[in-house]
Structures are given as C-alpha cells and as structure tokens.
C-alpha cells in the first residue's frame, strides 16, 4: 500500500513566506498544495488556490470544510492594524477560523506550523534583549503572536497532530503585492537611483546605519517551515530562524551598491513612503524602456515596512542555535542572499 499523500494547506499563499514555501514544495515534488488568500489565484499542476475571507467564520467553514485530505497546515497570514491591541482580534480570529474549519475534518492532520517573528520579543516596541532566545520571557500584552501560540498549544492537548512556531527576522526574498518585503524595496529603490543617475543613499538615520542585525532568506525560511512540520524533534516548540550571520548596514550597503553598479553617498534620512509616492510615472517609463514585466506600481508597495527596517536604531537579532541543535542545518551568508535575491528579481524582469 502507498503511504498517504502529503497535502499542504498554505494560509497566506501570496505573502513572502507562503509564496516561497509553495515554490519550495513544488520543486520537491510529492506534495499537493492548497493556497488560501483573499484574492485566490490561478492554479497549476499540484497547486490550487481558494479565495476565502478568513475573518469571516462562516465563509471559512463553507470554503474549507471539504479539505479532508490536508496533512499539514502552514499558517502565514497577517492582517495589519495601527496598534498592537488592534492586531490581536483579527489575527487570532483568522487562525481560529482556519483550525475550526479544517481540524475536525482533516483526519490525517499531522502538523500546524505558525509563522511568528521578533515581535514575540518586543522588537516592534523598542530596544529588546539581544540576541533574543526562545526561552526569553514574554513582554506585557497585547501581543497577537503569543495569543496565537497559546491557542495552538491549548487546542493540541490530547491530539495526534503537533504544532511549531517559527520566528524569522526581516524576511528577504521574492514576492509581489505584499507590503512586507525589504528585498523588493531595495531592488526598486536602487534601480530607480540608477535610472535617475543618483548614488545609493541609505535612507535611514545615521544611528540605524551602524546597528547590528540579522535577516532571514525567504527560501531558507521555506526549508525551515518544512523541517519544523516534518521533524519529530521540532514538535510543539518555537524556533528562531535567520541566516545565521549578522551585519551592519554601514558594511553591507556599499556592497549592495556595487551589485547595482552604483556609487555610495552618505546616509540621508528620508520617508520612503513620501519620496516613493510620486514614482509611478518613473516606474512606468522604466518598465517600457527596459522591457520589464508589466507590473503596476500599485504592486510595488513595501515602503512603509522598509522605512521601519531602515529606521531601527537598536540591535535587532536573535540566536538561531536552538534550531541547529534540533537538526535544522540551513544557513546562508547574507551578502550572498542579497545578490541572489536581486538576480532573481532581474531574472523575473521585475527590475532591469
């Protein structure tokens, strides 16, 4: 008898984590993939998409109650809100609605993987203990990441399936139409600087230029998601996932500039949200001039997130050694990651 087929339910299929996971599972083979998002998507061999409003419990039950073959849930959906308190209700509700709809009918459910981040450690609030470790105490609530994990821990009691939670740093990789994408922001910002004959200026304050930080390759994160979902050693635990090295922008930024054949000028603090707001005509000219993929400038919307990343004025890093001790071997040099990400955007004709 053949073993049951692995069926991955990827929640947040068009985000940077979900998209890269789907591409990884496609490349591996042996997985059927179902992607969830508000906008759905065009399916292909082995991958289908379901449009669903996860904030609507009734719509979630209607769209997901037939997913009886799901073996692994990868939860990477996110709804942004202005304050930490406002983030709790929608983000917890979406996870609850997915689990309530799928878990009772998916008789061979083996694992639920939850995407978190350094917000668990209070990184969004200000300077936090670094390197952050999974054993660090939680900060004063509200914190939706913690409430999501609490929900999974309680729901898993007495069940055959297990859970895991991954905590990446700033995730860098390919994705379009998602607001949390520093790799796309740098790619477009550098390409526009070159088009305008300008040097590449770091757009954050001087203090941010010299902090120590880490990032997470989206492809590496996809490998970690699959490892955590299929390794018994990772069951019912949380893990920091980053590239495994640290850097300062003051050292890396000139290297990024050389990747675009640009000179470097001193940092100049600026609001990327403001300075990039009027760049649609420039973008359209670049698309026509360089024969780029016809991407609407409205799909280039990572500026608020990137502005936050470039404005960090405190060390931003976590210890990834727990995952290594539990068997995850993945790592990548951050300079190499950026070079490969930029080449990927060029290959896909997103930038010249």
In CATH, what number is assigned to the domain containing residue 47?
Answer: 3.40.50.720
Instruction: Report the pLDDT value the prediction gives residue 157, as an integer from 0 to 100.
Output: 98
203 and 164 share a domain?
no
Helix (H, G, I), strand (E, B) or coil at 294: coil
71 and 123 share a domain?
yes
Report yes or no on 326 lying in a domain. no
Domain that holds residue 49: 6-170+216-241
210 and 221 share a domain?
no
Q: Is the pLDDT of residue 2 over 50?
A: no
Region 30-45: mean pLDDT is 93
Pull the structure tokens for residue 131: 């390197």
Overall pTM surpassing 0.95 (yes/no): yes
Instruction: Report the pLDDT value the prediction gives residue 147, as an integer from 0 to 100.
Output: 98
Helix (H, G, I), strand (E, B) or coil at 47: strand
236 and 296 share a domain?
no
Q: Is the pLDDT of residue 1 over 50?
A: no
Instruction: Report the pLDDT value the prediction gives residue 47, as an integer from 0 to 100.
Output: 97
91 and 197 share a domain?
no
Local confidence band at 4 (pLDDT 50, 70, 90 cut-offs): low
Q: Whole-angstrom Cα distance, residue 81 to residue 140? A: 18
DSSP result, 171-223: EES--SS-S--HHHHHHHHHHHHHHTT--EE--S-HHHHT--B-EEEHHHHHH
Report yes or no on 323 lying in a domain. no
Report yes or no on 204 lying in a domain. yes
Q: Is the pLDDT of residue 334 over 80?
A: yes
122 and 210 share a domain?
no
Instruction: Report the pLDDT value the prediction gives residue 310, as an integer from 0 to 100.
Output: 98
233 and 190 share a domain?
no
Instruction: Report the pLDDT value the prediction gives residue 259, as an integer from 0 to 100.
Output: 98
Q: Is the pLDDT of residue 138 over 50?
A: yes
Report yes or no on 82 lying in a domain. yes
């Amino acid at each position: 008898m053949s073993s049951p087929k692995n069926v991955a339910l990827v929640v947040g299929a068009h985000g940077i984590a979900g998209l890269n996971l789907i591409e990884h599972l496609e490349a591996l083979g042996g997985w059927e993939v179902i992607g969830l998002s508000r906008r759905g998507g065009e399916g292909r061999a082995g991958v289908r998409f379901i449009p669903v409003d996860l904030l609507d419990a009734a719509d979630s039950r209607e769209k997901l109650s037939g997913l009886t073959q799901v073996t692994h849930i990868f939860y990477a959906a996110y709804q942004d809100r202005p304050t930490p308190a406002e983030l709790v209700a929608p983000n917890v509700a979406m996870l609850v609605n997915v689990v309530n709809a799928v878990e009772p009918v998916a008789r061979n459910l083996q694992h639920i993987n939850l995407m978190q981040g350094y917000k668990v450690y209070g990184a969004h609030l200000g300077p936090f203990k670094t390197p952050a470790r999974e054993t660090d105490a939680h900060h004063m609530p509200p914190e939706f990441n913690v409430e999501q994990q609490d929900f999974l821990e309680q729901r898993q009691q007495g069940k055959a399936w297990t859970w895991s939670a991954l905590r990446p740093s700033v995730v860098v990789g390919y994705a379009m139409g998602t607001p949390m994408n520093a790799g796309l922001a740098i790619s477009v910002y550098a390409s526009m600087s070159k088009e305008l004959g300008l040097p590449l200026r770091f757009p954050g304050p001087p203090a941010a230029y010299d902090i120590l930080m880490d990032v997470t390759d989206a492809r590496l994160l996809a490998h970690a998601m699959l490892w955590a979902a299929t390794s018994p050693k990772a069951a019912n635990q949380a893990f920091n996932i980053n590239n495994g090295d640290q850097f300062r922008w003051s050292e890396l930024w000139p290297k990024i500039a050389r990747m675009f054949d640009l000179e470097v000028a001193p940092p100049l603090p600026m609001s990327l949200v403001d300075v990039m707001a009027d760049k649609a005509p420039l973008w359209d000219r670049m698309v026509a001039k360089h024969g780029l993929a016809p991407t609407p400038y409205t799909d280039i919307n990572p500026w608020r997130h990137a502005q936050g990343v470039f404005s960090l004025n405190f060390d931003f890093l976590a210890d990834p050694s727990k995952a290594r001790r539990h068997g995850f071997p993945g790592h990548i040099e951050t300079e190499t990651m950026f070079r490969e990400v930029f080449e990927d955007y060029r290959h896909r004709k997103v930038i010249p």
